[in-house]
Amino acid sequence: MTGESPGDAPGGTQRLARVRGLVRTGRGAAAGGLVLALLASGAGTWATDTWPFDGRDRYCWGAWEQDSGPGILGDEAFGGDDGRSRTATGSAPTADTRRGECRLTVSSHDRYGDGDEKRQRTTVTVKYGPAPASVGDRVGWLGGYLGDRAMPLPDGLPGVADGHHGLLVLPKRCDTRDGRPTAVTLDAREQAEADAVLARVPDLGGSRAVAELLVAAANKGMESAGCAGAEPLLVSGPVPTLPERAETFARGGACRIPGLDIEGDLDKETALRVQYQVGAVNDELQSCSVRIGRSLRLGERSDQQLFDAVMVREPRLTALLDGADDGRASGRPPGGTLGKGWRGTGVSGKGYALVRAGCAGRPTAFLTFGTSTGSADEYFATFSNAVARRLGCAPVAPGADDRGSGR
Amino acid sequence: MSTHGKPEGDAVSGGEAAVSEDVTAVNEGVTAVSVGGAAVRANGAAVSGDGAAAAPRPWWHWRRLTRGRWRPALAAAVVGALLGGTGVAWQAEAGPFGRERACWGAFDEDDVADLFHGKRDIKSSEVGVSYDRIASDGPSGACELLSPRGHRVRARLHQLDVRFAGAGDKWADEFLSARMTPIGGGFLGMVSDTRAWLAVPEGCVGRNSDREGPLVFDMEAGWTTYDDVVDTGERARLARAVVTLVNDYMAGRGCDSPIPDPTARLAAPARFLDEKRDAICGVQGLRLPGRDRESRFERPLVTGGTAAPVRTCDRDVLFGHPRLRLMTVEDPRLALIYKGLSYDGGRRVTAAGDTGDQVRGRGFLRDDMGLFQASCQTGEVTFLVRAADGGRAADVRRLLPRYAALEADRLGCGPLRLRLPS
């Protein structure tokens, strides 16, 4: 600084003299040492890029930190170069309410030379709270997370995720007073362009990123709600397995479920567009989603849900369904559409069904949702019996002799 | 500053030049110190010669700096700089703290020493990770660690070969042997005291198409005299090493969540089974007629641990090649290595209940081998009975349908009734 220009010089000498005077005292030496130390540590933090005052933003109750890993929190979240913004709204759960919600909005745009503009608006909604009260809502809600392309979270966490949504059940200590488990859910949406042919799938950075976001929100939420444990939840390992690609033709039954013949009930044209998505198939979870792929020729923007079924017996996940089917024999569900002869308990209504039965010594839930086509009940029976057979237990649906066990 | 500038301007006008000189000198001095002591001395000499006549030496003068009250400060600064520099070099493993790394940079000296019982005189050579011209085989690479005492450990990165009549079957001979235990934690991999393999998690490299085998690292550390005793210490070493390889590969691709140390969750290694007459290989209900047969076969070894990708039953193994193997490949990604073979291995095996457009799977029967690749809810599953030569054609033929039926039931893939070619 001194000697930058001759005009500075007088002040410079003064300062120099003052510094000299300071150094003469012992205190001065100490101060000098301190300055040196600060300079050195400053250089060190600069060199190692670990500046403590980096001013990183935090979102969603402070659970998520900018650039902390998941793509949506980094620079790669922005699709456009201009007008980049990332904001969050919502409130954390409290010890009283035990419900929280947060919405993260990422937006940007690109303007092209010809005046064309491309806008990006990605929203990520996180909810903290118990499952929906109404049975129909609850089955559809849980099924929506467990089905399709969802895979179990790594490290044995009780939950599932795919690339843009996920669910995590919190430990028992966070259950509501009436004993219902609390869950954290995450849903991401991409606002479609006005003239876009296809709705875009938001990219948060992969299913592991979704798992990380869920766990971070869960930890912060539990803290705010006053049910945090000694150790925060942790997702450490990589995702071992990804879901299969959707199949367009079924060999040996839809989703490899023996006897599940869906194409046979469709006209030839539609049958060609059917897509089968096998989700997880393991001891805790199995899912099958059948869609009619959108036809751009017919101006369809999204796939049509045809059949969705899930088997789940991870104890914390099935606990979310507790109370949904209390004391109602599945043979006589109020307003139900399922026929007689189901094993265990169950309940069904418009567009959903839930059956719970013991299977090879473990309580197991079978659910279907989102469809009310004529044959959906039959498909569900075939699915349930085939899965029960795979798990090594007695059929749950009636008519197992002519369905399910045929092969 | 401008307010004071005027009155003092004349008084220090001489000093003004001096100050600006000083500053240059200080700057020079600083550079010189950082370059080396010799430069400081040269610079200092020049300055002292110049300003000998001037009364008190300025405070920054090297003579003043090296004695009196400035000395400890200077010493502290030099020591501090040295310490800091050393610390940075140590942290960055640069300069004298640089460490040799082996196998694509995955292993540091400690990792290598761990594999060779603490010996540090290990040489390594490697072929870097590369692709063929059209990248049809996926990435591949090889690495070899060699001790002067002739001990050798090889590591390889490759995509399991699913093409052309079962090149994967040879790999399966050793790497799916009953001596291997699953690495666990949901990861696709197995380990014994002489072999280890681990697929790179799909979350990092994506899911392969159903025409591509998984991308795996495998390691071989020679042979043991074959029996059912697996050295768990050696096994833990190989398990750690193969996880290190995969983690390093993932880190290179920006996947920053490593696989944790698997050694704590490894199951006990398999031991020879006391075979019952009606439970060959421990499969309840599987039997061979004839009294002398039990004694003709040696005792079997069956894959240990839960959630294994394969259930292998080997007996009479010579250099990794069993005289008789009964194997169920449960993981569909691994069963791919038999997919090509299942189409053209020999005379066709079909399943009861097959219709024109819906079949349970496909397979074949030869004198030395019978195989059926079935479509189950979990995906493709391979059931295989294989002898070392054609001398057991009758046994292979008798075992295959019963073995496939019983194993299919165990996996929830039944009923599966095979029809053998006449």
Note whether B225 contacts A: Cβ–Cβ < 8 A. Answer: no
DSSP string, A207-245: HHHHHHHHHHHHHHHHHHHT---SS-----SPP---PPP
Amino acid at A327: G
Contact (CB, 8 A) for A321 and A334: no
Note whether A407 contacts B: Cβ–Cβ < 8 A. Answer: yes
Q: Give B257 to chain A, closest Cα distance, Å.
A: 5
Note whether A315 contacts B: Cβ–Cβ < 8 A. Answer: no
* More confidently predicted of A341 and A320: A320
Neighbouring C-alpha atoms within 13 Å toward the C-beta of B108: 5
Q: Give B305 to chain A, closest Cα distance, Å.
A: 16
Which one of A1, A15, A16 would you mutate to disrupt binding with B, by most B Cβ within 10 Å of its Cβ? A16
Q: What is the pTM of this model?
A: 0.80
- Residues in chain A with CB shorter than 8 Å from the CB of B70 are 23
Residue A24, pLDDT > 90, answer: no
Q: Which of A105-114, A132-141, B38-47, B89-98 has the lowest mean pLDDT?
A: B38-47
Q: Which of A15-24, A61-70, B59-68, B299-308 has the lowest mean pLDDT?
A: A15-24
ipTM of the complex: 0.80
**Predicted local confidence at residue B359, as pLDDT:** 85
Residue A195, pLDDT > 90, answer: no
**Predicted local confidence at residue B76, as pLDDT:** 85
In terms of residues, how long is chain A? 407
- Residues in chain A with CB shorter than 8 Å from the CB of B1 are 7-8, 10-11
**Predicted local confidence at residue B142, as pLDDT:** 96
Least Cα distance to A135 among A264, A318, A324 occurs for A324
**Predicted local confidence at residue A44, as pLDDT:** 63
Note whether B8 contacts A: Cβ–Cβ < 8 A. Answer: yes
Quick one: pLDDT band at residue A160, thresholds 50, 70, 90? very high
Q: What percent of chain B has pLDDT over 90?
A: 46
Interchain pair A407, B413: CB under 8 A: no
Interchain pair A407, B353: CB under 8 A: yes
Kindly report, residue by residue over A284-301, the tens digit of the pLDDT.
999 999 999 888 788 777
Contact (CB, 8 A) for A275 and A247: yes
Cis amide prior to B148 (ω within 30 degrees): no
Q: What is the mean pLDDT of residues B62-69?
A: 74
> Residues B317, B320, B322, B326: is their CA dihedral positive or negative?
positive
- Residues in chain B with CB shorter than 8 Å from the CB of A251 are 358-359, 375
In chain B, the residue whose alpha carbon lies closest to the alpha carbon of A235 is B257
**Predicted local confidence at residue A37, as pLDDT:** 73
Residue A127, pLDDT > 80, answer: yes
Note whether B34 contacts A: Cβ–Cβ < 8 A. Answer: no
Which secondary-structure segment (H or E) carries B183? none
Amino acid at A292: I
Amino acid at B146: L
CA A104/CA A124 separation, integer angstroms:
5
Least Cα distance to B189 among B237, B227, B246 occurs for B246
Q: Identify which of A45-49, B162-166, B205-209 has the greatest average pLDDT.
A: B205-209
The B residues from 98 to 157 touching A (CB cutoff 8 Å) are none
Interchain pair A240, B76: CB under 8 A: no
**Predicted local confidence at residue B178, as pLDDT:** 93
Interchain pair B256, A8: CB under 8 A: no
**Predicted local confidence at residue A53, as pLDDT:** 55
Kindly report, residue by residue over B127-183, the tens digit of the pLDDT.
999 888 776 778 999 999 999 998 899 999 999 888 765 567 788 988 999 999 999
Q: Are strands A100-111 and A82-91 parallel, antiparallel or unpaired?
A: antiparallel
**Predicted local confidence at residue A346, as pLDDT:** 85
Note whether B359 contacts A: Cβ–Cβ < 8 A. Answer: yes
Least Cα distance to A28 among B59, B289, B58, B196 occurs for B59
- Residues in chain B with CB shorter than 8 Å from the CB of A7 are 1, 5
Interchain pair B202, A241: CB under 8 A: yes
Of A12, A24, A386, the CB nearest to B377: A386
Q: Are strands A182-190 and A117-130 parallel, antiparallel or unpaired?
A: antiparallel
Residue B32, pLDDT > 60, answer: no
**CA angle in degrees (0–180, nearest 5) for B50-B51-B53:** 115
Residue A231, pLDDT > 50, answer: yes
* Partner residues linked to B26 by β-bridges: none
Amino acid at B369: M
CA B380/CA B374 separation, integer angstroms:
6
CA A355/CA A369 separation, integer angstroms:
12
**Predicted local confidence at residue B296, as pLDDT:** 54
Least Cα distance to A281 among A145, A144, A151 occurs for A151
Q: What is the mean pLDDT of residues B376-385?
A: 95
Phi-psi category of residue A404: left, alpha or beta, with phi > 0 → left and psi -120 to 50 → alpha? left
Residue B14, pLDDT > 90, answer: no
Note whether B85 contacts A: Cβ–Cβ < 8 A. Answer: no
CB pairs under 8 A between A and B: 139
CA distance to A388, B26, B382, per residue, from B411 (Å) = 12, 81, 12
Interchain pair A237, B258: CB under 8 A: yes
CA distance to A261, A320, A382, A397, B363, per residue, from A136 (Å) = 26, 13, 21, 20, 46
Q: What is the mean pLDDT of residues A214-234?
A: 94
**Predicted local confidence at residue A12, as pLDDT:** 55
Lookup: tokens for A59: 């979102």
CA A149/CA A138 separation, integer angstroms:
19
Of B16, B359, B377, the CB nearest to A256: B377
Interchain pair A240, B378: CB under 8 A: no
Note whether B344 contacts A: Cβ–Cβ < 8 A. Answer: no
What is the residue-averaged pLDDT of chain B? 82
Helix ranges (DSSP H) in B130-201: 167-175
Note whether A281 contacts B: Cβ–Cβ < 8 A. Answer: yes
Q: What is the mean pLDDT of residues A339-366?
A: 88
Residue A175, pLDDT > 70, answer: yes
Lookup: tokens for A224: 């705010």
* More confidently predicted of B326 and A263: B326
Task: Encode burial over B156-190: b for 16+ CB neighbours within 10 A, e otherwise.
Answer: bbbbbbbeeebebbebbbbbbbbbbbbbbbbbbbb
Quick one: pLDDT band at residue A36, thresholds 50, 70, 90? confident
Which one of B8, B19, B27, B255 would you mutate to disrupt binding with A, by most A Cβ within 10 Å of its Cβ? B19
Contact (CB, 8 A) for B377 and A404: no
Lookup: tokens for A288: 């099958």
The B residues from 197 to 216 touching A (CB cutoff 8 Å) are 201-204, 206-207, 209
Note whether B48 contacts A: Cβ–Cβ < 8 A. Answer: no
- Residues in chain B with CB shorter than 8 Å from the CB of A244 are 207, 379
CA B109/CA B95 separation, integer angstroms:
16
Lookup: tokens for B340: 């090509």
The B residues from 236 to 295 touching A (CB cutoff 8 Å) are 250, 255-260
Note whether A264 contacts B: Cβ–Cβ < 8 A. Answer: no
Interchain pair B203, A207: CB under 8 A: yes
In chain B, the residue whose alpha carbon lies closest to the alpha carbon of A254 is B377
**Predicted local confidence at residue B59, as pLDDT:** 74
- Residues in chain A with CB shorter than 8 Å from the CB of B59 are 20
Q: Tokens 């798990």 belong to which residue? A: A391
Helix ranges (DSSP H) in A82-147: 135-146
Q: Give B295 to chain A, closest Cα distance, Å.
A: 34
In chain A, the residue whose alpha carbon lies closest to the alpha carbon of B250 is A238
What is the residue-averaged pLDDT of chain A? 83
